[in-house]
Amino acid sequence: MSNSALAIAQKNLESTGWLDLEVDPTLDLVEEINKLKKERNAIILAHYYQESEIQDIADYIGDSLGLSQKAASTEADIIVFAGVHFMAETAKMLSPSKKVLLPDLKAGCSLADSCPPHLFRAFKAQHPDAVVVSYINCTAELKTLTDICCTSTNSVAIIESIPKDKEIIFAPDRNLGAYLRKQTGRDLILWNGTCMVHEIFSHEKITKIMVRHPEAKLIAHPECEAALLEKAHFIGSTSGLLRFTQEDEAETFIVATEAGIIHQMELASPDKTFIPAPPNNMCACNECPHMKRNTMEKLYLCMKHEEPEIILPEWVIEQGVKSIDRMLEISEAAGLGLKKDEEPD
């Protein structure tokens, strides 16, 4: 590859989101990526919603809580985040001295985008005494306006850690917020945001599958709508759903969350059957288009050239990280997720 091709790709990075360079189709990308991991002392953290080949090459695969705990504890010099933008930002806030790479900067999140910080600031001003709890699926700037972050794994523990006489604002996911209202009995003030993937499941098609497979259990992520959650046999975070399929005696599961997690479910329980909950049209809308922007080629290119990198203003890191640290402390005290000193797998 010529230096000029690289210079052009770097110049275009803002508009493309990734280093748009040709990759030799004969390259063994698994071997090359493993080589780069060693040479650069890099760790690959991958979310469960990534393509299966990316999950297979990652050093750690997890949901938002596990990934942020790994990002906080790793000894690697470079964190390569195979996930979406807010996750890589969280890793940068937790490890500001490390280089954090994201294969495609345009791997965003509809939920994070549904809560623009300038609008949220005005919303927050209407409830000046409220404690702000934000789902970790939000921008770095929103985290600066947040008292405590949470993930779907620890959200109940976080809400319950707040004194009963305190008002609580919950942002940005209204479905998770409604679920938390039910679980904790607290009257949360909700921001009206949603995730495009978890909103799209077809209740009618799921009901038909349940009739056809009466032995199957419906398992759902709390970002799904309340009407779907009411039908579910089990509700849990991504890692909670994975664990449930391993521990429960059912042989068939209808999975109402992003379909990428099914790869780990099949690896963990090869004799069980997993049916992805269908969306309400014919597209692959139960796959997150943002997560799927990452590919093996983009992963290889970003590790080879150490770009695109996540850069955050210092004030955002300083103010935003407090809400994540608080979340990790409460999670650890509640015995949730990984311990801070656990080494990457």
User: Contact positions toward ligand SF4, by CB under 6 A?
Assistant: 49, 84, 109-111, 137, 195-197, 258, 288, 290-291
Considering beta carbons, is residue 44 or 162 the nearer one to ligand SF4?
A: 44
CB of 41 to ligand SF4, least distance (A): 28
The amino acid at 38 = K
CA 81, CA 104: separation in Å to the nearest integer? 10
Compare residues 49 and 170 and give the one whose CB is closer to ligand SF4. 49
**Rounded least distance, CB 239 to ligand SF4, Å:** 14
Please give the Cα distance from 243 to 213 (Å, whole number).
21
Closest approach of ligand SF4 to the CB of residue 113, in Å: 8
Q: Residue 87 and residue 149: Cα distance in Å, rounded?
A: 13
Cβ-based nearer residue to ligand SF4, 110 or 161: 110
Compute the least distance from the CB of residue 2 to ligand SF4, in Å: 35
55 φ, ψ (degrees, to nearest 5): -60, -40
Cβ neighbours for 144, distance < 8 A, ≥ 6 positions apart: 117, 315, 316, 319, 320, 323
The H or E element spanning position 62 is strand 60-62
Residue bearing tokens 């993930």: 151
b (16+ CB within 10 A) / e for 12-23: ebeeebbbebeb
Residues sharing a CB contact under 8 Å with residue 248, sequence separation 6 or more, in sequence order: 217, 234
Which residue lies nearer to ligand SF4 by CB, 130 or 190? 190
Shortest spacing between CB 27 and ligand SF4, in angstroms: 29
CB of 271 to ligand SF4, least distance (A): 28
158 or 197: whose CB is closer to ligand SF4?
197
CB-wise, 197 or 336, nearer to ligand SF4? 197
